[in-house]
């Protein structure tokens, strides 16, 4: 599918509105978004083919030489002088707050004109074909075992078109991503749900991945019915890529979002250039750092995608910034300015966040554990950038005894403790690497954006409950 014809048709309107607003503000940018999503789903009793969460609208960012202003609207048609006056009035403050506005340096507006695109294979599949695949996979799961109460297969492709315009800059980007989910609701003395997730910008690979995992989903469900609570304690733990990503994301990623530096909300601000992790730990974030769900070409502030090395050999090297936080800190933005949608503010956000692979073999890592657990599948996590405490939940773990994985499953498993203690405990890093892009990340309890995370297997020592 090509770049949004609607946004293409709005280029002139955007430029005219930038000119009109420039009479009120020193810097003006307009981000136009046209995002379409489709949800195809089948389970035992029902099915759906419909649009998912999309958006189409504009957000205007303005800077008056001191502070930031934004206005979100659905359409920019009509007389631009009138619209500009309406916008300027809408973002005006009560007089008593005017003296409290922050003061930052003027924003740069370096010339660049570029159109970016990454092709998908979405147009090769009709709605009917995708629904048939979902029905087939749901049916396959149901047929595998009489204990399967329900089986859900869902495929969610979405495409993004974004247009960014300032006086000196005109950028467009177009790309897509698709996720696929298999879920088995299974009961054999205990009711459990087992799932498998795929993500790629080619639907063919998502579908192949789902088809290849019907047996493993049922096998996992069977094991989860036997899972017991874990005995709380401190253990040697091997992480799968998903849990490695969860650690990267929750333990440290949120803590280096530099809008938190501005607010003195992140301890990491004081640790740049210092050891924060084991010397064998290396961590990155960036839309250009990996090919996954957050691999855009420019961010929602019009800053080109970066590959930011956050931790090099255990030392904190750099953080992630949006335009506003970089302006306040006097640094260069890193292409991490992201919005929940055109209706929401841009914040410094993660993109694809991961640890670099190392040189250890997974089997050697498992063999090195006398008694511990291998943890699998992210459930959720919560960050605490100020105080470096974490809480991450894995869907399940498998006990390791005398260097061997057993048949003893535990679920759920909550990993908690101090971030530096956890990162400094990394003692082995596998040579494998996987980034998983099916998740959404909030800032606090809102502002949801699509992110990926992952990396190799890690051996850590951590508190499990």
| Residues of this chain, 303-362, that bind another protein according to CB under 8 A | 324, 328, 343, 345
Measured distance CA(98)–CA(101) in Å, rounded: 6
Choices 172-180, 196-204, 260-268, 367-375; region in contact with another protein by CB under 8 A: 260-268
By CB under 8 A, residue 375 contacts another protein: no
Site for another protein in 155-184 (CB under 8 A): none
- The nearest distance, CB 73 to another protein, in angstroms, is 5
Site for another protein in 193-232 (CB under 8 A): 193, 227, 229, 232
By CB under 8 A, residue 189 contacts another protein: no
By CB under 8 A, residue 71 contacts another protein: yes
Choices 44-52, 137-145, 288-296, 451-459; region in contact with another protein by CB under 8 A: 44-52
By CB under 8 A, residue 406 contacts another protein: no
Measured distance CA(60)–CA(221) in Å, rounded: 48
Nearer to another protein among residue 70 and residue 170 (C-beta): 70
Which residues face 285 on adjacent strands?
A: 308, 353
Enumerate residues 6+ apart whose C-beta is below 8 A from 334: 258, 286, 303, 306, 308, 318, 319, 320, 321, 326
Nearer to another protein among residue 297 and residue 396 (C-beta): 396
Choices 97-105, 153-161, 292-300, 349-357; region in contact with another protein by CB under 8 A: 97-105
Measured distance CA(352)–CA(173) in Å, rounded: 18
Q: Is 346 exposed, middle or buried (0-12, 13-18, 19+ CB in 10 A)?
A: buried
- The nearest distance, CB 238 to another protein, in angstroms, is 21
Looking at residue 66, the DSSP 8-state letter turns out to be S
Nearer to another protein among residue 160 and residue 365 (C-beta): 160
Measured distance CA(250)–CA(369) in Å, rounded: 25
By CB under 8 A, residue 122 contacts another protein: no
How many residues contact another protein, by CB under 8 A?
A: 76
List alpha helices for 247-294, DSSP H. 258-262
- Please say whether the beta carbons of 44 and 142 come within 8 A: yes
- Please say whether the beta carbons of 383 and 390 come within 8 A: yes
By CB under 8 A, residue 440 contacts another protein: no
Residue of 15, 54, 139, 307 interacting with another protein (CB under 8 A): 54
């Amino acid at each position: 599918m090509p770049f949004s014809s609607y946004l293409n048709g709005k280029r002139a309107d955007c430029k005219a509105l930038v000119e009109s607003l420039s009479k009120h503000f020193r810097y003006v940018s307009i981000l136009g978004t046209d995002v379409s999503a489709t949800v195809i789903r089948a389970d035992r009793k029902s099915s759906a083919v419909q649009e998912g969460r999309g958006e189409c609208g504009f957000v205007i960012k303005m800077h008056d030489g001191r502070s930031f202003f934004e206005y979100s609207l659905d359409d920019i048609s009509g007389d631009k002088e009138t619209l500009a006056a309406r916008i300027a009035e809408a973002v005006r403050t009560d007089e008593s707050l005017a003296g409290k506005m922050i003061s930052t340096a003027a924003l740069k507006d370096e010339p660049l004109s570029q159109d970016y695109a990454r092709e998908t294979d979405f147009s090769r599949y009709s709605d009917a074909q995708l629904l048939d695949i979902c029905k087939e996979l749901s049916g396959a799961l149901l047929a595998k075992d009489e204990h399967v109460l329900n089986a859900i297969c869902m495929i969610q492709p979405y495409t993004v078109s974004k247009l960014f315009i300032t006086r000196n800059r005109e950028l467009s980007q177009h790309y897509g991503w698709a996720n696929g989910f298999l879920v088995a609701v299974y009961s054999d003395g205990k009711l459990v749900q087992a799932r498998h997730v795929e993500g790629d910008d080619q639907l063919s690979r998502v579908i192949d991945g789902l088809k290849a995992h019907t047996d493993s989903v049922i096998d996992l469900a069977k094991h989860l019915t036997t899972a017991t609570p874990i005995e709380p304690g401190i253990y040697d733990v091997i992480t799968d890529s998903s849990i490695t990503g969860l650690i990267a994301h929750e333990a440290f990623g949120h803590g280096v979002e530099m809008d938190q530096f501005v607010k003195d909300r992140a301890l990491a601000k004081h640790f740049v250039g210092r050891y924060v992790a084991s010397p064998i730990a290396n961590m990155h974030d960036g839309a250009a750092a990996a090919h996954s769900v957050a691999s855009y070409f420019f961010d929602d502030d019009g800053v080109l995608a970066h590959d930011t090395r956050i931790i090099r050999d255990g030392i904190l090297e750099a953080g992630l910034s949006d335009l506003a936080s970089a302006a306040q800190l006097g640094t260069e933005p890193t292409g991490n300015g992201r919005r929940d949608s055109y209706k929401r503010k841009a914040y410094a956000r993660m993109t694809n966040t991961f640890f670099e692979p190392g040189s250890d073999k997974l089997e050697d890592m498992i063999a090195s554990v006398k008694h511990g657990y291998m943890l699998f599948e992210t459930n959720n996590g919560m960050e605490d950038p100020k105080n470096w405490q974490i809480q991450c939940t894995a869907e399940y773990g498998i006990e390791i005894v005398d260097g061997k994985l057993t048949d003893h499953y535990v679920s759920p498993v909550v990993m908690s403790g101090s971030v530096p203690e956890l990162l400094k405990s990394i003692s082995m890093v596998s040579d494998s690497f996987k980034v998983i892009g099916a998740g959404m990340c909030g800032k606090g309890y809102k502002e949801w954006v699509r992110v990926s995370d992952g990396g190799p297997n890690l051996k850590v020592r951590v508190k499990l409950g």
